[in-house]
Amino acid sequence: MRIISQDGTIDMPYEQVIIMRHDKSIYLMEHLTEDVEIAKYSTEEKADEAMEELRVAYMRHNLVKMGQTPPDGIDKKITMGLSGVFHFPAKEELEWHMEVISFLEAVQKGMEDNIYNFCKDGKCSQCGNCCSNLLPMSRKEVDTIRRYIRKNHIKECKHLLPTANRTYDMTCPFLDTDKSCEKCRIYPVRPEICKQFICDNEQRAKHNRALLGQTRQIIDVRSEFFNET
């Protein structure tokens, strides 16, 4: 995610810098041998709120990278991070976005059992949150998918930014998060678990997942189809 200073003159990658609040100001630490002030507020409390908004924006940015769409009812003014950019707000624009915090807390609570209802009006929202790299599949399903990706020249989707240390992408390699709908690149031949699983009912979701897990082998999708180990 990119961070833009309050006056718009500095653009930096959040994952590669250190940001710190001191008194009423927020600094980019040790930039070209000295700290640089990137935002200033009227009180320490407002500076703390700006820092918290930055953290929330980064959390939302990561959720969106996983395929989650903003929930209905969230104000357009509080979507910082969704585009991959956080601009430190001016003093008069700084607000405490409790709607976002409440939403994130609800998501965290709902995911304690790895299942959270992302459906809209009882139907799949196509958010992609259930699209895991580890899925129960039969050999027949694996062979069908393999033929399909060869015939249609399906390419692997990657969801992590390059890092110095190796990281492993646990999102399905067929989930195209650049699209707002029809995100699955193999939708016509998707495995049975993807057809049956829906998160609107926790017990049904658990049942379907357990049932298919008993009759199918858990497959590392990225490794199986793209030889990534």
Express each pLDDT in 211-228 by its tens digit: 666 778 888 899 899 985
Confidence grade of residue 196 (pLDDT, cut at 50, 70, 90): confident
List, in order, residues 6 or more apart from 193 with CB less than 8 Å away. Answer: 135, 136, 137, 208, 209, 212, 216
Please give the residue that has the higher pLDDT: either 80 or 139.
Answer: 139
Q: Is pLDDT above 70 for 50?
A: yes
Identity of residue 144: T
Express each pLDDT in 20-29 by its tens digit: 999 999 998 8
pLDDT at 30: 65
pLDDT at 52: 84
pLDDT at 165: 52
Confidence grade of residue 42 (pLDDT, cut at 50, 70, 90): confident
Q: Is pLDDT above 80 for 81?
A: no
